[in-house]
A = this chain, B = another copy of it.
């Protein structure tokens, strides 16, 4: 039964049902199983573990990465049950990363709530992240698919490398666009790409189809992160579920700033170095940053680059079977990019 959407959503439809909601509906039975698995596997006799894990896991995340895994597997005609384990595994890796990320960034807010490190402390966040990471591996191992294990374990190393690279580059205005893109590729795109690719692998599809889903995930992931980084300067707080200007305050160098710095006068560069590197920020600095970003098209060009990657992600899907799942994945690309416009 094809209950997918045949064409991208029109403007008025988008107001009532987002493409992510549509995908959630399309794989709702499987997603229920994923949520059951998550609840079951994050449990522990050490009660602080489900407390912290649950706090983050039930905090209103969209389950975007597991949705991609489920849709990719179904798109490829997979008939078994192991895709739900892989989807739960991908969500655990993501959640573990968030826990450690918030410790590293000293973030106070995550998805509109106090972040776990604020509520339980950094120490607990580190250790519960480790637990979830191990549970992710337990789930993968249960599928008995060595290729999937290889992909996901390598992805985990790549994510960690991306995190370290970001740490090293933080508060450094000499960060190039190349380094920024390298961080995005590792920190965000790698997991999107693996989440999609394992769907083809578990379904036993050809290398060409694996590669297509891999490319879809990677390019969609890059577009997703670029939009996220643009919205950190341009979004509304309720829309983001995080504080606007977080990246600015943390001295996290994202593409809008890299572009404005590259294109700025010596005086403007001094402003960026003072506010991002030292960091010494006062009233009016964030507004000044927004003005410079507008002047040098920092946000606009970041969004346009996101659109380019979104196009590539669309194209990558084209060799795959044209079914409701493919169309649903196609729609989430459009939706995620359009939320910024």
Contacts and interface: CB of A to CB of B under 8 A. Distances in A.
A164 B133 contact: no
User: Which of A104, A127, A163 counts the most B-chain CB atoms under 10 A from its CB?
Assistant: A127
A171 to B, nearest CB: 12
A282 interface: no
Interface string A122-162: 11101111110111011001001010011001101101110
A48 interface: yes
A32 interface: no
B122 A160 contact: no
A95 to B, nearest CB: 13
A126 B163 CA distance: 10
Interface in A46-76: 46, 48-49
B127 A163 contact: yes
Contacts of A44: 161, 164
Contact of A150 (B45, B131, B141, B168): B141
Contacts of A149: 137, 141, 149
A138 B157 contact: yes
A153 B134 CA distance: 6
Contacts of A48: 164, 167-168
A127 B157 contact: no
A89 to B, nearest CB: 11
A91 B38 CA distance: 29
Interface string A98-134: 0010011000000000000000001110111111011
B141 A126 contact: no
Contacts of A104: 123, 126-127
Identify the 7 closest CB pairs spanning chains A and B, nearest first: A134-B156, A131-B160, A134-B157, A137-B153, A130-B160, A104-B123, A127-B163
